[in-house]
Chain A
Amino acid sequence: PVLLLEPVPQNPGPQNEYDLLVIGGGSGGLACAKEAAQFGRKVAVLDYVEPSPQGTKWGLGGTCVNVGCIPKKLMHQAALLGSALKDAQHYGWNIAQPVHHTWSLMAQAVQNYVKSLNWGHRVQLQDKKVKYFNMKGSFSDPYTIRGLTKAGKEVSCCVISAILPVCSQIAGALEYGITSDDLFWLKKSPGKTLVVGASYVSLECAGFLTGIGLDTTVMMRSIPLRGFDQQMASLVTEHMESYGTKFLKRCFPTKVEKLESNRLQVTWKNTDLGTEETDSFDTVMWAVGRAPDTEALNLEAVGVKTNSETGKIVVDASEATSVPHIYAIGDITEGRPELTPTAIAAGKLLAQRLFGQSSELMDYDNVPTTVFTPLEYGCVGLSEEMAVRCYGSDNIEVYHAYYKPLEFTVAERDATQCYMKVVCLREREQRILGLHFIGPNAGEVIQGFALGIKCGATYPQLMKTIGIHPTCAEEITKLHITKRSGLDATVTGC
């Protein structure tokens, strides 16, 4: 989440102290600031974390480092290790029961690591001679940011946070519920948890909570992982169900009350049955979306246009806003993927265009991503339904396969949802439009193929690539059963 100011020669205001002011010290902001500093520019980063409604706050680095990708993947790993412990017994390791998980040990380890990253970022900024202000503020005019230190003194720069978890509006939601902003910083186990939402945030969190042994329920109003390939989304949730996560489908909460025992009583409506139901939980976590806090930035005052529906900042292909010297990158921008690597790349390219004679624009096409649910889902390119919509089902071919990771065999693990598909154009060249993979290490599998797709990979080229044996990824190079044929797509053999 970043707004950037660059110097304009005929600047009517006072002499600019900085060539570039970066508001938001997250993935995009830090990348842009450091890159600009490489060109010898005077850069400042303003970062401030407004405490969550529950009072949680954190250091420099933004969402990804503090309350996103990093702690998420570490807790996901903790859950995966729980499965590894079960597998290990099949592979000959004698582990005496009982085996149990202690939240506080994990949380402390994760929090310590995150803090080391906060520190690392501060050191990096220092090394690159980027000025860092832990301050909050807003635009007072198009070239000036009004900054407020914690003590309320006015200074000439300011800081704002990006997009924040949205809380439900129902009674008790804000007071008694937490969000992902709080989850990773809890000192005590969340216990029996209800996660409300169907986003990847919801499913990933519910997934690892289940994996470390907590009674976890996901409440979804409609479909899971909106925007993702829906066949894959179903496989993800099916796996989670067999993994032990409970699902309340087509339900939405109506109120949250605190009980004498300090537990939370949640009431909800089941839209399928038309009934009202209730249950009690130790923790209720809202994962119903994220929205920008652009009001605090005072963007209206300087004329930066935002999308009326989402509140996000509207930018063009060069990340410019409606005000010439103000740019925006990252989660706060309208129509862009909300991903750390795209923010970083966009930030670097922007700095190179502003200060380094480059004209290269950011390419937002074919950005790969991975959902780190208990059975991971990695993808790049178009979903099947999007491909059908763009080209027509007669013009696309989908090759698919159900497979079993070798490591699951001895471990006697269920591989029912291990699946992959490649969506191609049907015409002669058979260019690959999208690749979808569910299985262990999905991110590692997809990364290289994303590169191939960037090179315009075709289905024949995929088939010419020899597999690495034994891996899961090699099955991608062996895909040959089409959906159209109706044949059984289960891989057999060694």
Chain B
Amino acid sequence: SCPYSCYCLHEAAKYEKKVMVLDFVTPTPLGNSWGLGGTCVNVGCIPKKLMHQAALLGQALEDSRKFGWQFTEEVKHNWMTMTESVQNYIGSLNWGYRVALREKKVTYENAYGEFVGPHTVKATNKRGVEKLYTAERFLIATGERPRYLGIPGDKEYCISSDDLFSLPYCPGKTLVVGASYVALECAGFLAGLGLDVTVMVRSILLRGFDQDIANKIGEYMEGHGINFIREFVPIKVEQIEEGTPGRLKVIAKSTKGNQIIEGEYNTVLLAIGRDSCTRKIGLDKVGVQINEKTGKIPVNDEEQTNVPYIYAVGDILQDKLELTPVAIQAGRLLVQRLYAGATSKCDYVNVPTTVFTPLEYGACGYSEETAVEKFGEENIEVYHSHFWPLEWTVPSRDNNKCYAKIICNIQDNERVIGFHVLGPNAGEVTQGFAAAIKCGMTKEQLDSTIGIHPVCAEVCV
């Protein structure tokens, strides 16, 4: 289970329902595992943001010299110091969740749950001991795990984000395979910590995101020393030398022809997508339909599967967003509907998000291409601007790389339907604008709002 289910359980327990949570982490191919809290806490948002912060601080160090701070020229980063601190913090969160569940009298078992029949689940713990449990209702929140390439050497020698955040040695020269936000965020902070990083991309960057911005992100990363190999996919990974890290040879083939290239790296990080953990939990035994191709579970707007007493939330849902706050909101509202007579449903429209690449990207609403597709080019207006954060002037850094754009629907009073900002603290900037979009803001209201000076966000008003 994942943090959102914890919130569900808190809610349910509030209404004095007897609640149990089964959480189990199947170790990664390299044997890695973690505690209670799910992806976000252990191998997602939290360690990601902390390591991103470590990289940003590296940049801050360099900036600080221009602001008058003096210290030795040579500054090196120690991977172990960082990872230990991050893991300690995660450990405190795992502990915090266990305490919270106990306080709310939610029964927790560190066991693998699977359906064996109507209203019945079998829980198998680490030692193989099996127990059966029955319940009136069930919530599936099993999340996803990183996908592997299915090529020789992938499971033996490559790591994934499931391994990266607790890697007990510095990854060294790294090849990141993939173009997802996971790939770019990881490549970004690894480079920021001083490592030699290459990203191998099959086709486009950040599929599903505004492509104009995705390209700007790629350009920025390239301009900051990250190598990109475009339109290639790995076909084999071989070990040249064992070690922590060792040395690996990667053989890759062009997607456009027969060209083969080779490269040597200390670490290969696969970030090519995630698969739902829905195939081995006995859903067939209770008749829950899943999308056979993707493994995702279709639900109605009340998070109910085709089996009335079985619900699902989070990354495993079909056609919903894979985000922690969405899952939390959905879970909380679900429980309020089931046990407190509430009627509010989770609002999946205009959910804001942020990609924590070295140049951060915050977005809410339509990308430019989907807006054009849905409303027609003549019916939308795009207002945009480059900007230079004041804090980057003194260190003479990256003039004209930051960018903001707002997409308006001309036919609906120039209502703002898309908000995009590329720049520092993009998440902090975007959050408030997401609230304003929820209030139906128009371009006129945007124009009449006074800016706070001097901050980056004022470029948007």
A residues whose Cβ falls under 8 Å from a Cβ of B = 64, 69-70, 73-74, 77-78, 81-82, 84-85, 87-88, 90-107, 109-110, 113, 212, 339-342, 345, 363, 367-370, 378, 406-407, 409-410, 441, 443-452, 454-457, 461-462, 464-474, 476-477, 492-494
Contacts and interface: CB of A to CB of B under 8 A. Distances in A.
Contact of A471 (B70, B431, B450): B431
B457 A78 contact: no
Interface string B77-106: 111111101100100010011001000000
A446 B435 CA distance: 11
Given A110-B394, A465-B352, 7 more contacts: A69-B453, A70-B454, A77-B394, A85-B61, A449-B435, A469-B40, A494-B45
A406 B394 contact: no
B58 interface: yes
A410 B86 contact: yes
Contact of A444 (B6, B438, B456): B456
A93 B40 CA distance: 25
A472 B76 CA distance: 29
A465 B454 contact: no
A91 B53 contact: yes
A103 B430 contact: no
Contacts of B393: 74, 113
Contacts of B428: 441, 444-445, 471-473
Nearest to A100: B70
29 contacts: A84-B64, A85-B71, A91-B50, A92-B81, A94-B78, A99-B70, A101-B69, A105-B70, A107-B68, A212-B68, A368-B452, A410-B82, A449-B431, A451-B461, A452-B438, A452-B439, A452-B441, A454-B436, A454-B445, A455-B436, A457-B436, A466-B326, A466-B352, A468-B434, A470-B49, A474-B427, A474-B431, A477-B431, A494-B3
A interface, over-half SS: helix
Contact of B461 (A84, A91, A370, A447): A447
A101 B65 CA distance: 9
B271 to A, nearest CB: 19
Contacts of B429: 444-445, 447-448
A424 B449 CA distance: 20
Contact of A451 (B67, B79, B86, B432): B432
A468 B57 contact: no
A341 B451 contact: yes
Closest CB pairs A-B (n = 8): A448-B432, A106-B68, A92-B82, A447-B457, A473-B431, A443-B455, A448-B433, A449-B432
Contacts of B431: 445, 448-449, 465, 467-468, 471, 473-474, 476-477
A81 B67 contact: yes
A226 B96 CA distance: 40
A106 to B, nearest CB: 3
Interface of B is mostly: helix
Contact of A466 (B70, B80, B93, B323): B323
Contacts of A77: 67, 390-391, 394
Contact of A88 (B49, B60, B455): B60
A406 B393 CA distance: 27
A469 B455 contact: no
B334 interface: no
Interface residues of B, number: 86
Nearest to B61: A88
B325 A457 contact: no
A452 B57 contact: no
B367 interface: no
Nearest to A443: B455
B353 interface: yes
B275 interface: no
B100 A370 contact: no
Nearest to B457: A447
A76 to B, nearest CB: 9
Nearest to A363: B448
Contacts of B456: 444
A491 B215 CA distance: 37
Contacts of B298: none
Contact of B53 (A101, A407, A464, A493): A407
A493 B3 contact: yes
B117 interface: no
Contacts of B362: 468
